[in-house]
Amino acid sequence: MDAISVIRTKRDRGELTPEQIDWVIDAYTRGEVADEQMSALAMAILLNGMNRTEIARWTAAMIASGERMDFSALSRPTTDKHSTGGVGDKITLPLAPLVAACGAAVPQLSGRGLGHTGGTLDKLESIPGWRAHITNAEMLDVLDTTGAVICAAGDGLAPADKKLYALRDVTGTVEAIPLIASSIMSKKIAEGTGALVLDVKVGSGAFMKTIEDARELASTMVALGTDSGVRTVALLTDMSTPLGLTAGNALEVRESVEVLAGGGPKDVIDLTLALAREMLDAAGLKEADPEKALADGSAMDVWRRMISAQGGDPDATLPVAREQHVVTAPSSGVLTRLDAYDIGVAAWRLGAGRARKEDPVQAGAGVELHAKPGDTVTAGQPLLTLHTDTPEKFEYALKALPESYDIAPAGTEFTATPVVRERIA
């Protein structure tokens, strides 16, 4: 086997053999296949696709590159959730402790930002002292004592994916459906959760721009999970508009705490509850009431214990960017569109994301929204506030925003897209 022949097979729209797939994943993990060679293969996959047989084998090879976890010793049923990535998507933060408060164990292995989308680990690392990297033994201990853990996948869990995930982020190959499906499902299957709910985003701010692509990705992942013995269901959720009123690391943590405290934006609350019900149902806890657990403070109690268990201070002041720039509404009327992709790009350019896999992120950087589609705005009122520690980034971020919103005349009727668009099981 050699990398060039594997690349040529997919470049020429051929089907990779099981032997080619097993070899290239193993060789890349060991460093025999270079980043530039895997980049070329990833681009060929993006352009020419993979069939179901190839995707299943690719996923199995990713799993085989590392260890598999076992949660059978826990007294609670395990259930997990994964989002394909969006703008302002902080749902994992309130969701994990909420589901744990209802009696499930939530082993939430999360990732960092990809392109214009935010990463759960980047967000939580804005909490002073919080550690993303913990050992398997620590993970089990946190799960046992609090019911929920959010952490990075260990080095032994699908190490091939860890390398490829970072590479995709900086080579324009994030959107490849076979690579998204295998990346997500290799970790989740190796993780050992009993049930999995997939939040597949669709819209301008998602990697899946059309409902057809979102269905394809969701169906692929549901099949991969089901075939591996994991109870798997997917919700297709809207990502044409950012979730909530913030896009950025510390900004989104602050908003998540508001949700756990009984407040927060309605779309964040609605999606958190919808996913919580799916996770609890998949775990066999149909009688649990997540709305009650959110209202009575028990979810907040789990959040505080969960953050503390990984060295974080739930009472610490979150970082705030040193500089702000306000974008005002150019006219009065009804805000009818606020493009999630443009907001995500602006947040990324302000420092909330990374251009290279080794780049740091700014904890306080991001975009704050002062209105959502359907709201009435007045000329001159704040529409967006940009946050960054490096004011020279404002000019570049602002270039993403001129076409990011529409304001219609006052009285224009507006119908919002439902947060949950479809369910696939």
Residue 6 near residue 41, CB atoms below 8 Å = yes
Residue 105 three-state SS = strand
Among 57, 112, 163, 168, the one annotated catalytic: 168
Is 240 annotated in the active site?
no
Measure the CA–CA gap between 98 and 208, rounded to whole angstroms.
Answer: 28
Residue 365 near residue 250, CB atoms below 8 Å = no
Among 22, 122, 161, 267, the one annotated catalytic: 161
CA angle 385, 387, 389 (to 5 degrees): 155
Is 82 annotated in the active site?
yes
Residue 274 near residue 291, CB atoms below 8 Å = no
**42 phi/psi in degrees, rounded to 5:** -60, -40
Is 254 annotated in the active site?
no
Is 292 annotated in the active site?
no
Among 57, 82, 215, 387, the one annotated catalytic: 82
Q: In the 8-state DSSP scheme, what is residue 200?
A: E
Among 110, 126, 183, 240, the one annotated catalytic: 183
Among 57, 81, 112, 187, the one annotated catalytic: 187
Give the pairing of strands 231-238 and 79-83.
Answer: unpaired
* DSSP bridge partners of 163: none
Measure the CA–CA gap between 94 and 124, rounded to whole angstroms.
Answer: 12
Q: Which two tokens stand for residue 11?
A: 């470049």
Q: Which two tokens stand for residue 334?
A: 């009804």
Is 183 annotated in the active site?
yes
Active site amino acids: 82, 161, 168, 183, 187
